[in-house]
Amino acid sequence: MASSTTTYTTAGGHVPTATSTAVAADGHQGQTKFPPFDSSTFAPQLVWLALTFGFLYIVMSRIALPRVGSVLSERRERIQRDLVEAERLKAETDAALKSYEKSLADARNKAQTMAKSMRDTADAELDREKRRVDDANAVKLAETEARIAATKSQAMASVDQIASETAAAIVERLIGSSTGGASVRSAPTSENAI
Amino acid sequence: MASPIEQFNIKTLIPLDFAGIDASFTNASAFMVSAVVLASGFMVFAMRERALVPGRMQSMAEMAYEFVASTVRDNVGEEGMKFFPLVFSLFMFVLLCNLLGMVPGSFTVTSQLVVTAALALLVIGIVIIYGLWQHGLGFLKLFVPDVPPVLLPLMIPIEVVSFLARPLTLSVRLFANMLAGHIALKIFAGFVASLLAAGAWGIIAPLPLLLTTALTALEVLVAVLQAYVFAVLTSVYLSDAVHGGHH
C-alpha cells in the first residue's frame, strides 16, 4: 500500500555523517520507506520537539498557568468574601428585625398599659365626679326638703290662725258683735300670707 | 494522484547541524513551532486583562485550565498538582498539533511515531524517576497486586509487562489514530478526484465527498479526544508515581 512513485528524500541528506552518528538505531536507510519509520528523520524531530515542548512548558509553568491560577483563586476568594459579607449583613438584618419586633411588642405593651391606666384614671374621675354630683344633689334635696318642711309647718301654723279668725268671723256674723275685732282685721292679711 | 503516505514525509526546510546532530528545521519543526506559538500566545493573550469577570478569550483559557486541572485532581489528587503544568503542556501540545494537522495540506506532528514515543517516554520517565525518588524501592510494590500469595508468581510478570507496555500503548495510540485518520481522509478525498477524472463515473463522486466531510468531522473529534486521552493517561500513570503501589 505504501508503494508509490514518490521517492523519499532523506531529511538528513545534507549532512549524512551527522545523521548516521545521531541515529544509530536501525540500518534501513536510503530506499523508499514509510516516513514515520524513517530513522533519519528522528534526530531533527527530537531536537525540535525538545526545543518547542521545553519552551511551551516554560511559558505554561512560569507565565500562563500561574496567571490563570491567580485570577481563578482571586475570583474564588472574592466570591467567598462576598458570601461571608452577605452572611454578616443577613445576620445584622435579622438582629435588626428582631430588635424592631421587640420594640414593637414593647410599644404595644406600653400602649396597652397606658390605655388601661388612662381608662382607670378616667373611671376614677368619673366616679369622683358622680359622687360629687350625687352629694351635691343630696344636699340640695335635703335643703329643699327642709324648706318644704318649714313652709309646711308655717302653713300649718297659719291654718290655726285662719281657723281662729274664721271662727271669729262666723261668730260675729252670727252674733253681730265685733268681739274679736283684732282677729277679724288680721284675717285677710293672714290669708294673703298663705 | 499523490500517495496517501506522502503527507507524512519530512521535508527539510533549513538544514542545520548542531554539534554533530542533525537539527534541521523541517516541516515537522515548523508545525511544532506553530503549535507552541499558538498555544502560548493564546494562553498569554487571553489572560492579558486578568479580568475578574472574564471575556470570551479568557473564559476559554480558564476552561482549558479548569478542564485539565480537574483531570489531574480527579486522577492524582491535590498532591499531583505539581505535575499540572506538565499535563497541561502535553494536552495543549498534542491538541494543537492534532488540530493543526486537520488543516488541509498541513503536516501532522503527532502522526510521527518518534514524536509520540518521545512524549510517552517523557511521561513514563518522570513516573519512574519521581516514583523511585518518593518511595524508593517501595515503588516496586506497584508490581505486587493485592491477591493471594499463590497467584503472585503469575501476577507480578503480568504487572511488569503491563507497566512496560504503557509507553508503547501511550505512543502508538496517538500515533496510529492520527496516521490512520489522515490516510483514510486522503484515500476518500482521492476517490473524489479519481471518479471525477473517470468520465461517467464522476456522477457518484459526491458520495466519497460526503464521506470525506463526515470523516473530517470525526477526525476533529478524534484530534480533541486523543489529546484528552493522552492527558488522562498521563495523570493516571503519575498517580502511580505519587501514591506508589497503594491506590
**B247 pLDDT higher than 70:** no
Which residues of chain A are within 8 Å of residue B15 when distances are taken between CB atoms?
14-15
Nearest to B224 by CA among B58, B72, B100: B100
Residue with cell 493516571: B236
**A142 pLDDT higher than 60:** yes
Is B204 touching A (CB cutoff 8 A)?
no
Which DSSP string corresponds to A101-158? HHHHHHHHHHHHHHHHHHHHHHHHHHHHHHHHHHHHHHHHHHHHHHHHHHHHHHHHHH
CB contact under 8 A, B52 and A74: yes
Name the phi and psi angles at B131, rounded to 5: -60, -45
Is B228 touching A (CB cutoff 8 A)?
no
Instruction: State which residue of chain B sits closest to A14, comparing Cα positions.
Output: B15
Nearest CB partner across the interface for A67, out of B11, B35, B47: B47
Instruction: State which residue of chain A sits closest to B113, comparing Cα positions.
Output: A36
pLDDT-derived band of residue A105, with 50, 70 and 90 as boundaries?
A: very high
Instruction: State which residue of chain A sits closest to B94, comparing Cα positions.
Output: A53
Rounded to the nearest angstrom, the minimum Cα separation between B162 and chain A is 24
In sequence order, the 6+-apart residues with CB closer than 8 A to the CB of A32 are A2, A4, A6, A7, A8
CB contact under 8 A, A43 and B22: yes
B99 sits in which H/E element:
helix B84-101
Quick one: pLDDT at residue B10? 84
Across B99-114, b (16+ Cβ under 10 Å) vs e yields bbbbeeeebbbbbbbb
**Burial class (CB within 10 angstroms; exposed 0-12, middle 13-18, buried 19+) of B194:** middle
| Residue A171 Cα to chain centre, angstroms | 103
Establish how many alpha carbons lie within 13 A of residue A52's alpha carbon, considering only the half-sphere containing its beta carbon: 30
β-strands B25-26, B21-22 pairing = unpaired
In sequence order, the 6+-apart residues with CB closer than 8 A to the CB of B23 are A43, A44, A47, A48, B16, B17
Do B11 and A35 touch, CB atoms closer than 8 A? no
Which residue(s) pair with B14 in the sheet?
Answer: B25
pLDDT tens track for A50-67: 999 999 999 999 999 999
Is B175 touching A (CB cutoff 8 A)?
yes
Nearest to A181 by CA among A192, A193, A194, A165: A165
Within 10 Å of residue B122's Cβ, how many Cβ atoms? 17
Quick one: pLDDT at residue A27? 42
Mean pLDDT of B36-55: 89
pLDDT tens track for B71-127: 999 999 888 899 999 999 999 999 999 999 999 888 999 999 999 999 999 999 999
The ipTM estimated for the assembled molecules is 0.89
Do A4 and A35 touch, CB atoms closer than 8 A? no
